[in-house]
Chains A and B, each alone.
Chain A
Amino acid sequence: MSEQKQTFVIFLFASLIIGCLGVGNLAGQERERTWTSADRSAKIKATLSQYDPETGAIQLILSDGTTRSIFREMISTSDRRYLRGYLKRETSREEIIGPESSPATFPLFGIQWVPDLSQALQLASGRTGKADDRPVMCFRVLGDLRGPM
């Protein structure tokens, strides 16, 4: 194989890998879209970060990187249709790669727990600033949550 052909094959292979990585990344992340309020009086551009179908809680990431939490009842019917599609995509993704979990947490009674408060507070501080902060729920109890109590 000539040097030119070798270079072309390497370029093609590298492009293929980069392309696959890109597709893999897109598979787990939603695109930015316009969200409309239920009464159609307001619109915002944001990316869906999380949606809980049981409680209706929706977390959006706005274009400036800040997060906003809203509830399903507050959005238009087309946005709700989009949420149903999101749930289907998430279900099929979890079937392929399994649910996301953080190495610092462990599951017990259906909850992902961080084993101590200082770690929990660290995790709760947003990586990209205050807008990403999360609150901490601390179950303060007499005894060992994992054993007899």
Chain B
Amino acid sequence: MRTVSFSQPQTHRFLNQNFVNTFDNTTGDPTSGKSIWHQPGDPSGMCIRGNGKQNVQTLFLTPSGNIFHVATGFLSPDDLLAESKFAFQLFQKLNREPQIDGNDVVEAHRHRIESAGYPKKNVQQASPVAQMMNQGFPQVSGNVIKDVPFFGSNRPGNFMDLMIRQQILQDQKFSIQYPLMSWEQFERDPKTLVGNGQSFFSSSSSGNHR
């Protein structure tokens, strides 16, 4: 998974130039999922966006340790670049203000999901699944959020598309509901982002059960 997400030079350049990059091993965390062991050199398997949300989360934080954007589960290199660009532009906006304001985080995420076709009045109301059931399942036209219309038409899509859209929406809603949550608070209760479920991640047949 990591070897795929971090496989493109333009993603490397953007992250190296604009972010301080770090990682956190969630082994032992009760909310983390299950996985099959993979070495970095193992062949990568087929993944779709959002696979294994309990196993991997990409979090974007201010230097004071407040989370202002998240993307859960597997991200393709294009998805990672798109999420990083959104996060960088949002950070620039936040940092220009005398004091970083959670309302700006909320507005930026609201605007993002509205631009992606999700009705404004429903952003904080009914569950995304219920909304999609009412208005039809559009087909996925790309893997970057701006290319994924939530309600492009009423034509039937497939269940995977629905899952991807739902997860993207839930990630944005986390930032709307908990803008600028501190890292410490998040670590005490990651369920606010990853839920109570236990995801199992396996992207190739090699390796041992963990």
The answer to whether A and B assemble together is yes
Chain A residues within 8 Å of B9, by CB = 54, 110
Judged by a CB distance under 8 angstroms, whether A111 is at the interface is: yes
Total count of chain B residues near the partner, CB < 8 A:
57
In the complex the two chains form, what is the Cα distance from A4 to B39 in whole Å? Answer: 70
Decide: A138 and B23 in contact? CB cutoff 8 A.
yes
Give the docked Cα–Cα distance between A140 and B18 (Å).
19
Question: A144 on the interface (CB 8 Å rule)?
Answer: yes
Q: Given known contacts A111-B16, A136-B62, what 20 new A-B pairs fall within 8 Å (CB)?
A: A50-B18, A52-B13, A59-B18, A113-B21, A113-B22, A115-B22, A117-B22, A121-B20, A124-B20, A130-B95, A134-B19, A135-B18, A135-B91, A136-B63, A137-B19, A137-B87, A138-B24, A138-B59, A139-B24, A149-B35
* CB of A133 closer than 8 Å to a CB of B: yes
A131 to B97, CA, bound (A): 10
Asked if A147 CB lies within 8 Å of chain B CBs, one says: yes
In the assembled complex, A141 has its CB within 8 A of some CB on chain B: yes
A114 and B20 alpha carbons, distance in the complex (Å): 7
Q: Give the number of chain A interface residues (Cβ < 8 Å).
A: 42
- A11 is an interface residue with CB less than 8 A from chain B: no
Contacts of B12 in A (CB 8 A): 109-111
- Give CA–CA (A137, B21) in the complex, Å: 5
In the complex, B65 has a CB within 8 A of chain A:
yes
Assembled-state Cα–Cα distance A146/B64 (Å) = 26
> In the complex, are the beta carbons of B32 and A142 less than 8 A apart?
yes
Minimum CB–CB distance from B10 to chain A (whole Å) comes to: 3
Which residues of B are found within 8 Å of A117, using beta-carbon distances?
22, 24, 65, 183
B64 CB contact (under 8 Å) in A116, A120, A121: A121
Instruction: Return chain B residues, CB-CB under 8 Å to A145.
Output: 2, 23, 25
CB distance from A144 to the nearest CB of B (A): 6
